[in-house]
Amino acid sequence: MKILVCISHVPDTTSKINFVDNSTKFDTTGVQFIIGPYDDYALARAIELKEATPGTTVTAINVGLSDTEPTIRKALAIGADDAIRVNADPSDSFFVATQIAEHAKGFDLVLMGRESIDYNSGVVHAMVGEILGLPSISPVMKLDIEGTNVKMTVEIEGGKEQVEAKLPLVAGCQEPIAEWKIPNMRGIMSARTKPLKVVEPKATQPTAVIQKFELPAPKGAVKMISADNVAELVTKLKNEAKVL
């Protein structure tokens, strides 16, 4: 079985978000970049499937400029066999989906996080599925394969669904589909020599273009209320905050 895992290169979850160049660019000063946490779940499940069935290969793919290569190498260190970098700025979901679809033919299973934590669109899996005519399912909490039949648990508002579909398919992953894998020393060493192919993007017209970024208004200081006077909180929530 050939598995394609799509990973995003994103600021880590503790990063302060700031913009420069008149709020048109993300400020990367001091920011650590990681594999998107939801993509980490996808990658971990892919490696589990690979370890369970000999002959299974895992390819990592990322749409990004050369600064994403250290992140791609992390995916190789975790256990992907090879990687592809589509040399382009991941400008919007449809662009990213178009690039992934170009390279996804021939794979039995395409996995990725349910969304990337920078732009939170959560639709690349659905768009890849639509472009390739494959079923897409997200967010998948559990994924098991029997032959060509895939059984999944999908989270819905207030509960979950059991969904079934046939390979090949595309899945957007989240917890608790697998435990995040930490690369070991051997993985890190081998990541340096595993193949990382760089390809040029398929030309496509931009459909959604970011003009500018904005930050939310800063919050005021917290108002502390004594545990002996809880009724005061209720009064403030009613009259001051007007949320009761």
Partner 1 sequence: MSTLVFIEVSEGKVRKSSLEAVCYAKAMGSPVTAIVLGPADATELQSLGKYGAQKVLHASDAKLAKGVIQAYSAVLTKAMQDENADVLVLANSSLGTPVAAKVAVKTGASFASNVVELPTTSSGFVVKRSIYTGKAFSLVELKNPKKVIAIKKNAAEVKESVGSAEVVSYPVSLTDADFNTTILSSEKATGDILLPEAEIVVSGGRGLKGPEHWGVLEELAKTLHAATGCSKPVSDMGWRPHHEHVGQTGVKVAPQLYIAIGISGAIQHLAGVNSSKCIVVINKDADAPFFKAADYGIIGDAFDVVPKLTAAIKAANS
Q: Does 214 bind partner 1 (CB under 8 A)?
A: yes
Q: Does 94 bind partner 1 (CB under 8 A)?
A: yes
When binding is defined by CB under 8 A, the residue of 175, 183, 190, 199 that contacts partner 1 is 175
Q: Does 108 bind partner 1 (CB under 8 A)?
A: no
Q: 189-226 b/e with 16+ CB inside 10 Å = b?
A: eebeebebeeeebeeeeeeeeeeebeeeeeeeeeeeee
Task: Give the separation between CA 56 and CA 47, rounded to whole angstroms.
Answer: 9
| CB 45, min distance to partner 1, A | 14
Q: Does 209 bind partner 1 (CB under 8 A)?
A: yes
Q: Does 117 bind partner 1 (CB under 8 A)?
A: yes
Residues 128-157 as x/- pattern, contact with partner 1 by CB under 8 A: -xxx--xxxxxx-x------------xxxx
Q: Does 118 bind partner 1 (CB under 8 A)?
A: yes
Q: Does 22 bind partner 1 (CB under 8 A)?
A: no
Q: Does 217 bind partner 1 (CB under 8 A)?
A: no
Two tokens, residue 160: 């979950």
Query: Alpha helices of 5-118 — where are they, by DSSP H?
Result: 37-52, 69-78, 93-104
Q: Evaluate whether 13 touches 180 at the Cβ level (below 8 Å).
A: no
Q: Does 206 bind partner 1 (CB under 8 A)?
A: yes
Q: Report the residue number, 5 or 83, with the smaller CB distance to partner 1.
A: 5
- Strand 25-26 and strand 19-20: pairing? antiparallel
Task: Give the separation between CA 228 and CA 186, rounded to whole angstroms.
Answer: 58
